[in-house]
Each structure stands twice: as structure tokens, then as C-alpha cells.
Amino acid sequence: MSVSEATPGLARGTPPGRPARRRRRSRLARRRRRAGILLSLPAVIVVVALLGIPIGQAIYYSMTNWNGLTAQWIGPSTYSTALSDPVFWRVLQNNGLLLLSIPFAIGIPLAIAALLNEHVRGWRFFRSVYFLPTAVSWVVIGMVAVQFFALNGLMNKFLGAVGLGTFQTDMLAGQRSALIALAITFIWSMLGTNTIIFLTGMATLDPTLLEAARVDGLTRRQIFFRVTLPLLKRFVQFSFVITVISAFSALFSLIFVMTNGGPGFGTTTLEFFVYQSAFSLGQFGTGALYGILLFVIMIVVGLVQLRLIRSEDGEGW
């Protein structure tokens, strides 16, 4: 009997010890997988306890008539009732209109970061000024906005001082004007955060690329749009994500201080509508329902953002 017949693996060009090594690696991989599951199990239990159970309770109470003490089961029909309520769609429309401010909440900080990155005269002072909204509570920002947009506020005093008294108005008294005032305040509140994000991104850029663009004769504007902005793609995406999330779920303090959701439902967002339904009207079941709808909307928005980001990178889901 030849050597190749005694050891078939050699005839096929396979070293005799390779199958054994593969089996050992396979066993090691299974052990590591089991160890990973066991080590992550406590964290999973904590997450389920702190998030899963409350979400499950909210889903249950959203199908009941719950006054905070007793809950009367109604069923999934509560969702059809809520979706047929015109107030709900008006509130959702306010959220949609606030999304129109997102290009300004990203574009203005991007322009400011580009100027500060050029180290213009006094750039350290202006950097501190633009960072101020980040260091101040949103409640304080809302109180400042009230003093600015009110009938006797700073804006109208300025208009009167420069001879434009005919344009004086109480922006917080009208539904659309109050929503515009809220959008402007939101843009200002995001100014510091997004400026810091873009300044951080610009600090990571390779200066030799910018220098090469200058040598090629490109102007500052051309360098920004052709070189800097494409390299800041990841930072713009991150800024877009947190700005959209803030527009849906972080405006409660501003609305509560500035308008309390009024006039009427002019500045009521879905987030604030949850509070109004539960704590102002005492309809905790309805509040839980709108909270679940907000949760679902945020999941959809997050998935859409993830899809857009990955599609730009040439990847699928």
C-alpha cells in the first residue's frame, strides 16, 4: 500500500493535522460564543428590566382608559380613535414644520465653524459666544426667548429704535408666528452643539490637502465646497441625526416656558402632547398611547436615517 493510499489527505494535498486544528478552532469559537452570551446576559437582563418592562406596560396602558389609579381595558381600538383625531394630525404637522428648521440648524453652525477654523480675528471670543447655548439650560434659553419675542421684548424695541416700528408684533400671540419663534429658538439652541461638531471634524482634516488645493489656485469658497465639505460627510450626518432627534424629543422645555403649547395647539408637538394628555387632562392612557406613537415615529426616523447614511456609502441594510 502506498503512502497516498494510507493517508488519503496527502493525496488531495491536505496536511494530515489540518482537520484536527479546524475542530479545535470550532470548539474554541463555540466556547467563546457561550462565554460572550453568559457575560452579556446580566446587561441584557438590566436593559429588559429598565426598558422592556416599562415599554410593555406603556403598550398595555395605551389600550386602556387609565386615570392614574384604575385602568379599564378598551383594546386596540384606542389607536384608531387617536389616529382619527384631527388634533393629533395638527400636532404632528407642527413637528413636520419644525423639521424645516433643520437645514438652518445645520447650515448656520457649519458656516460659523468654517469661519472660526480660519482663525479670523477674535475667533476665540466668538467661539465662546457660540458655545454659550450648549452650556445654558433649555429652560433658560426659553426664558430669554420669551423676553426677546414678546410684544415689549428686545426685538420690537430694536425695530422701534431703527424706525421699523410698523413691523412690531407679538410673535408669541399668533399660532404660526409662535411656531416660527420656537423654530428660531431651536436653531439657536443647537448652534453651539453643531458648531463644536463641525470644528472637531475640521480639526481632523489633513492640512496638506487644503494646502494642495490652495496651490492649485482654488478660492476659499471652492476649497470649502470641493474639499472640506466632502471630508466632513460623517460629521454632517451625525449632526443631522442628533438635530432631527432633538426636534422630535427635546423641545419640551422650550415649549413649556415659551408658549405652553399655545396659542391653541399652535406650538404643541407630539412630545408636549403626551404631557398635556397625561398631566393636564388626567388621561394617562391617552398619554401612554401618544408616547408609544412617538416611540414608533422615532424608530422609523432612525431607520430612515440609517438607510440614507448606508446608501450614501454604497452599502445595503
pLDDT at residue number 316:
44
Q: How far apart are CA 191 and CA 238, in angstroms?
A: 14
Report CA-CA distances (Å) from 310 to 16, 48, 103, 198, 234.
44, 28, 20, 21, 11
pLDDT at residue number 15:
57
Residues in the chain where the model's pLDDT stays below 50: 2-4, 6-7, 9-11, 316-317
Q: How far apart are CA 117 and CA 35, in angstroms?
A: 48
pLDDT tens, residue by residue, 123-146: 777 777 778 777 788 899 999 999
pLDDT at residue number 314:
54
Q: Which CATH class is domain 81-312?
A: mainly alpha
Structural contact between residues 182 and 172, judged by C-beta atoms closer than 8 angstroms:
no
Structural contact between residues 202 and 209, judged by C-beta atoms closer than 8 angstroms:
no
pLDDT at residue number 129:
77
pLDDT tens, residue by residue, 184-237: 999 999 998 999 999 989 988 888 888 888 888 888 888 888 888 888 988 998
Q: What is the pTM of this model?
A: 0.81
pLDDT at residue number 3:
47
Burial of 141 (0-12, 13-18, 19+ CB in 10 A): buried
Which pairing describes strands 64-66 and 71-73: parallel, antiparallel, or unpaired?
Answer: antiparallel
Give the residue extent of every domain in the chain: 19-61, 81-312
